[in-house]
Structure 1
Amino acid sequence: MLKFIIKRILSSIPVILVVITFVFFIMRVIPGDPAILILGDEANSKDVEILREKMGLNEPLLVQYVNYVKDILTGNWGNSYYNNESVFKNIKDRLEPTVLIVIYSTLISIFLGVPLGILAARYRNTFLDYTLTTASVFGLSIPMFWLGIMMVFLFGVKLRWFPVQGYKEIQEVGLKTALYYVSMPSIALGLQSVASIARYTRSAMLDVLNNDYIKTARAKGLPVNKVFYKHALKNSLSPVVTQIGFSMVSMLGGAVVIETVFNIPGMGKLAYDSLMRRDYAQEQAIILYMALVFVFVNIIVDIIYKYLDPRIELD
């Protein structure tokens, strides 16, 4: 197991390097000068040049890139252009609400998506199946920002069931109240994953149900429910686990939109603000952090694969 984990980490290094390179250069292509954004449009050119020199932006682009990679390899992620704090500290300070939202959304997507997919497969080609399939397509088609705005208007402004914006830290108000503050963004973020997981579960179940050993079990007279839930369900979970892992990572990206809509001071909101400020160091650190999370989640998914199907070798 340890050998597999080390091998996966090493094989992920080229992917991380590609991500680092892509983000570094794409940030420099985006219009906007960080020095001008910090000092304001009224700043004179001399002050702008001094600040650019201080931030290392006057160096040739290739030199900036080499220095950035060296800093990453030595554990120096840099300081934010905006507040001069360590970019890692800024991420750490904003991590709590984002983690809560992603976990909450993942649980919603699992406990709704998997059962709905099972029901659609169990009663395939029926009115229930068609209804759930149509609802899944509709759920995948709804823009997340629109759904968030509609939820703010309906459940926050009109019904007043949830706060329309903001977040209270666990240390300040406790876990229950903190979860209350992230309920609406978590539901908005989780609904699209419910739709995708339901579709994957249905598809995986139907694929397994067409296998010969399922047909043999039915021919031997085993009860339909036993064949369906004991044999088919277990063997169809592997692709579903993959989709759940992918959904968790995509939720980190979705947090940028959802935290901005609900004005939650999480990592997603930090990513959006950093992009608007052209805070290269902070934005690059956030993307790198997300890439590392992606690698970690993939390793966990592969390990779960092994437990679900012992025939799989972790090579």
Structure 2
Amino acid sequence: MIRYALTRLALLLVGLLIASVLIFLALRVLPGDVAQLIAGPQSTPAQVAAIRHDLGLDAPLPAQYAAWIGGVLHGDFGTSLLTGAPVASELAQKAEVTVPLGIMSLTVALVVSVPLGVLSAMRRGRAVGTAMNVGAQTLAAVPVVWAGMMLVVVFAVWLGWLPAQGFPRDGWDAPGAAFQSLILPAVTIGVVEGAMLLRFVRSATLQAVGQDYVRTAAAKGLTRNQALIRHGLPNVGLSVITVLGLQVAGIIVGAVVIEQLFSLPGIGRMLVTDVGNRDLPKVQGELLVLTGFVLVVGFLVDLAHRLIDPRQREAS
């Protein structure tokens, strides 16, 4: 197990290194010049060139990359080209919104998908199972922005139960208000992602029903549902854990959109703003952190799968 974990950790680090190179190069082909933006429209070419030199933007690309990645290895993500603030501190501040939003969204997705997916499979061919399957397919096709707007109309405008936008100025020092401000965004992402996961859980459950060990348990006196719950659902759980890495990536993408819609001061909203401003150090740091988070979740999922499934341990 230790050898497997070290191998997976090495692959994670290699993947993160490759991602850093791709992020760095991709941002260099974006149109626009941050030096020109800082200098203003009335600036002379000499002034723009001086700013580029001060910011280190005229150095060779390998030197720029080496300086950036060297700082990252020491916990220094650089400073914002526009504000001069440390990127690491801004990332930590924005993560106080994005990380709880992601956790709440994933919780909603699991609460929606696992029990309803199993129930849909167990009621296959009946009206309830058919309705749940059709509903999941419909929700999975709904754009997350449209789902968010509909929830705002119902729960914020019509019922007035929850805030439509914003995050309290005091942040988590006002935990009640902070939690309330994340409910609608989390439900928006969680329901859409949960509908996608529900279909997967349903398929995995139907596959488990047809396995020999479930039929054998039923032949020994258990009902079909009892055999499925006792012997089939553990394998369904393994399948759900496997797909969670993909769901986390979907939740991060959804968070970038939803933070804009609900005016949440998170990493996703900051990323969109910084891309428009060509603030390269901040964009690099934001993309690297989001990519690293997805890779770490995949690493943890692999370890959990290997710990839970004895067949993988025996095969090693």
After TM superposition, is the score higher than 0.5?
yes
Instruction: Name the residue aligned to 1:19.
Output: 19
- How far 1:4 sits from its partner (Å)? 3.4
User: Aligned to 2:310, what secondary structure does the other structure show?
Assistant: coil
**Which amino acid is the alignment partner of residue 143 of structure 2?**
P
CA contact (8 A) 1:147 1:188 kept: yes
- How far 1:170 sits from its partner (Å)? 4.8
CA contact (8 A) 1:9 1:295 kept: no
Looking at structure 2, the residues matched to 208 and 236 of structure 1 have their Cα atoms a distance apart, in angstroms, of: 7
Looking at structure 2, the residues matched to 104 and 199 of structure 1 have their Cα atoms a distance apart, in angstroms, of: 20
Instruction: Name the residue aligned to 2:174.
Output: 173
Looking at structure 2, the residues matched to 301 and 281 of structure 1 have their Cα atoms a distance apart, in angstroms, of: 30
Instruction: Name the residue aligned to 1:102.
Output: 102
- How far 1:304 sits from its partner (Å)? 2.2
Q: Which deviates the most, 123-132 or 228-237?
A: 123-132
CA distances 1:34-89 after superposition (whole Å, capped 9, x unpaired): 12233433333333222211111112334323433333344432111122122111
Alignment of 1:147 onto 2:136: no
CA distances 1:81-136 after superposition (whole Å, capped 9, x unpaired): 12212211110011111111111111111111101100111011222222122211
User: Aligned to 1:182, what secondary structure does the other structure show?
Assistant: helix
> How do 1:218-257 residues align onto structure 2 when only pairs under 5 Å count?
218-257=218-257
Q: Which deviates the most, 183-192 or 297-306?
A: 297-306
Which structure 2 residue ranges, 5 or more long, are not aligned? Answer: none
Instruction: Name the residue aligned to 2:297.
Output: 297
Instruction: Name the residue aligned to 1:8.
Output: 8
Looking at structure 2, the residues matched to 6 and 271 of structure 1 have their Cα atoms a distance apart, in angstroms, of: 32
- How far 1:284 sits from its partner (Å)? 0.9
| TM-score normalised by the chain length of structure 1 | 0.92
> How do 1:203-218 residues align onto structure 2 when only pairs under 5 Å count?
203-218=203-218
CA contact (8 A) 2:172 2:178 kept: no
**Which amino acid is the alignment partner of residue 165 of structure 1?**
Q
Instruction: Name the residue aligned to 2:34.
Output: 34
| Distance verdict in 2 for CA 1:133–1:104, change over 3 Å | same
- How far 1:18 sits from its partner (Å)? 1.9
CA distances 1:170-210 after superposition (whole Å, capped 9, x unpaired): 54212x32110111111111111111111111111111111
| Distance verdict in 2 for CA 1:24–1:208, change over 3 Å | same
| TM-score normalised by the chain length of structure 2 | 0.92
Instruction: Name the residue aligned to 1:182.
Output: 182
**Which amino acid is the alignment partner of residue 102 of structure 2?**
V
CA contact (8 A) 1:118 1:201 kept: yes
Alignment of 1:194 onto 2:220: no
CA contact (8 A) 2:213 2:231 kept: no
| Distance verdict in 2 for CA 1:79–1:122, change over 3 Å | same
Looking at structure 1, the residues matched to 230 and 15 of structure 2 have their Cα atoms a distance apart, in angstroms, of: 38
Computed over aligned residues only, the root mean square deviation of the Cα atoms, in angstroms, reads 2.0
Q: Which deviates the most, 163-172 or 85-94?
A: 163-172
User: Aligned to 2:80, what secondary structure does the other structure show?
Assistant: coil
Q: Which deviates the most, 65-74 or 249-258?
A: 65-74
Looking at structure 2, the residues matched to 181 and 283 of structure 1 have their Cα atoms a distance apart, in angstroms, of: 26
